[in-house]
Homo-oligomer: A and B are copies of this chain.
Amino acid sequence: MAEVTLVEAVNLALAHEMQRDADVLLLGEDIGVNGGVFRATNGLLGRFGRERVIDTPLAEAGIAGVAIGMAAMGLKPVAEIQFSGFIYPAIDHIINHASRLRNRTRGRLTCPMVLRSPCGAGIHAPEHHSESPEAMFAHMPGLRVVIPSTPARAYGLLLASIRDPDPVMFFEPTRLYRLFREEVADDGEALPLDSCFVSREGRDATVVTWGATHYDVLAAAEQLGEEGIDIEVVDVATLKPLDFDTILASVEKTGRCVIAHEAPRTAGFGAEIAAQICERGLYFLQAPIKRVTGYDVVVPLSRLEKQYMPSVERIADGVKQVMEAQ
């Protein structure tokens, strides 16, 4: 079993499924010879050939659209949108077609595609390379929305996403791509797409999070632990459909909840989690919920991105606030 980074885990999962299933193919900008701007598809052109590893023209709407056509004919396209800041032109095809094809045709045609896209800030990238648009997709009926937080989860969730018979949006936090390594067995074992993961058990408060922020939440948990505050960390992982029961069980146990994510606060996916707690777990709450998130501003250029993101300090501070409230 090798220690791999998150981006290597993505590569392993892609290679595994391409090897196992001849219907799986990749398309996107610069994913071929170049192996993707983050090297997620490194080596796959050589192994699987030009017909299954397609360098497309620069056209995100087209990429999503042709992937739908391929999927409708039984292929399992895994399309890459080079950065989430460029995913917006693809939304039309995703919401109007990918997410509806099965429903529209009463199951006659289906859309087993995955749309992978690097997301999030924190790597000093240029403008538009630091977006966190997951909430927009979580609002769209018929989709799945997945964001891994560790190499092992990236591997298992990506396998599951490719095998899933419906369209999956798979966001990969660029900040985690090479931040740490983890043992990942390339054994083709998928992880469930309908469960949150409890990454750390704790008594005092629940922190619900996903993506790159998960890393900071775990760091905050260490700090807080030293101060005697024992938090439980829930990695949502699959935002849609949401496994709310795991979150609810944790909040029932701890009575306090912080939701941490990098996207802007207003109408971010944290709001949905807070709303469901308010509907189904109100009486468990011993303190108001606290959201620690990106601010409601345009993700700034790199000089300010650290100030924008929910830092370890802000997360720890948020936990202390919910601990103090009565």
Contacts and interface: CB of A to CB of B under 8 A. Distances in A.
A231 interface: no
Interface string A50-69: 00000000000100000000
B291 A275 contact: yes
A99 B103 CA distance: 34
A69 B285 CA distance: 49
A120 B125 CA distance: 38
A135 B267 contact: yes
B103 A89 contact: no
Interface of A: 61, 85, 88-89, 91-92, 95-96, 99-100, 103-104, 127-128, 135-136, 138-142, 240, 242, 263-264, 266-272, 274-275, 277-280, 282-283, 285, 287-291, 295-298
A139 B278 contact: no
A135 B266 CA distance: 9
Given A141-B266, A279-B288, 15 more contacts: A85-B96, A135-B267, A139-B264, A141-B295, A141-B297, A141-B298, A142-B297, A271-B275, A274-B279, A275-B278, A275-B289, A279-B290, A282-B285, A282-B287, A282-B288
Given A271-B274, A274-B274, A96 B103 contact: no
Contacts of A268: 139
B278 A288 contact: yes
B278 A272 contact: no
A58 to B, nearest CB: 13
Nearest to A299: B141
The CB with the most chain B CB atoms within 10 A, among A89, A280, A285, is that of A89
A296 to B, nearest CB: 5
Contacts of A271: 267, 271-272, 274-275
